[in-house]
A = this chain, B = another copy of it.
Amino acid sequence: MEQVMELRQLENRARLLVKCPDKPGIVSVVSSFLFKHNANIVESSQYSSDPENGTFFIRIEFHCDGLSNKSSQLENEFEEIAREYTMDYYFHYLHKRQRSAIFCSKELHCLLELLWEWQNGDLDTDIALVISNHENARPIVESYGIPFYYLPANKEIRKEVEQKQIQLMEEYNVDLLILARYMQILTPQFVDHFENRIINIHHSFLPAFIGANPYERAHIRGVKLIGATSHYVTNDLDEGPIIEQDVERVDHRDDVVTLKKIGRQIERRVLSKAVKWHLENRIIVEGNKTIVFH
């Protein structure tokens, strides 16, 4: 019964994300538009990079009875406003669950965290498939009824593997790709295919320790905090828009093995937060930075 109620609610819920040059009247025109269509604003957050000549961003979650029948009319009429205010905008309907793919390698802590959150109902996505260049995740993934694909990976066969990966992602209608400690580099062609839709977890507090072996380098440098960074993947290694970061305290007694253990705890919570925010449409990418509406 509760589930039925919830489904009906989801059918009448949507999120509107807007980005446009800032000028007076935007909130007024958007909120009046929604009011006119009997949509009730449930949550709203906004940000202007500069009230004078800056860029304006707004995220509105609204409820609207009979939304599924009205959505195309809504979008059509909104198009006029969008044109007038030179808006980039996007309607996301909550009943259309986003579909995610997870790529992983040998270390499974981030994958396990995502599966755990998902099983608890805390990740609003369908995990469509898991792809790994190792076999060790298969039993746990398949125990959840999620398709698992083993695709060996190395420099020589990168192109063919990526072709196969893209094909699978299309076949499974994937909206979001999560790199849960996937230890392979992606080619520009692959990345361009999924712009702002690939979330990676890097095991350092970026921009410190870009690239390989960050814990080893953190140990050599003698830092007193280690961190992890979740970001959208671009073609500059570890340089994409940062979504979330966190750190933990370490000290001189912690060797590299211990740093990695502590780091795993940071990585899994940082990645799962970033994924959750993406799925809730809380993130707008602007240049090489993110606006995250908490």
CA distance A51 to B12 in the complex (A): 14
CA distance A24 to B206 in the complex (A): 42
Report if A186 contacts B (CB, 8 A).
Answer: no
Report if A205 contacts B (CB, 8 A).
Answer: yes
CA distance A245 to B28 in the complex (A): 36
Evaluate contact between A39 and B24: CB separation under 8 angstroms. yes
Report if A31 contacts B (CB, 8 A).
Answer: yes
Interface string of A231-259 (1 = CB under 8 A from B): 00000000001111111000111000000
Evaluate contact between A48 and B38: CB separation under 8 angstroms. no
CB distance from A224 to the nearest CB of B (A): 4
Residue on B with the closest CB to A250? B245
CB distance from A136 to the nearest CB of B (A): 12
CB-CB under 8 A from A38, the residues of chain B are 24
CA distance A45 to B268 in the complex (A): 30
CB distance from A98 to the nearest CB of B (A): 20
Total copies of the chain: 4
Q: When the two chains form the complex, which single residue of B28, B205, B224 contacts A34, counting CB atoms closer than 8 Å?
A: B28
Interface string of A27-45 (1 = CB under 8 A from B): 1100110110011111111
Report if A47 contacts B (CB, 8 A).
Answer: yes
Evaluate contact between B224 and A225: CB separation under 8 angstroms. no
Evaluate contact between A28 and B24: CB separation under 8 angstroms. no
Evaluate contact between A221 and B208: CB separation under 8 angstroms. no
CB distance from A263 to the nearest CB of B (A): 13
A205-B225, A207-B208, A242-B224 given as contacts; is B24 within 8 A of A35 (CB)?
A: yes
Interface string of A265-278 (1 = CB under 8 A from B): 10001000000000
CB-CB under 8 A from A261, the residues of chain B are 120, 122
CB distance from A104 to the nearest CB of B (A): 15
Report if A223 contacts B (CB, 8 A).
Answer: yes
CA distance A63 to B35 in the complex (A): 25
CB-CB under 8 A from A291, the residues of chain B are 252
Report if A166 contacts B (CB, 8 A).
Answer: no
A222-B288, A265-B269 given as contacts; is B42 within 8 A of A27 (CB)?
A: no
CA distance A282 to B221 in the complex (A): 19
Report if A150 contacts B (CB, 8 A).
Answer: no
A-B contact pairs, 16 of them (CB 8 A): A27-B44, A28-B31, A42-B48, A42-B51, A205-B205, A205-B208, A207-B208, A207-B223, A221-B242, A222-B241, A224-B242, A224-B245, A225-B245, A251-B292, A252-B291, A252-B292
In the A-B complex, list the 8 residue pairs whose CB atoms are closest, starting with the nearest.
Answer: A222-B289, A28-B31, A208-B208, A28-B35, A27-B31, A24-B40, A28-B32, A224-B245
Question: With contacts A207-B223, A221-B242, A224-B243 known, what are 7 further pairs, Cβ within 8 A?
Answer: A42-B48, A51-B63, A221-B289, A247-B247, A251-B292, A251-B294, A252-B292
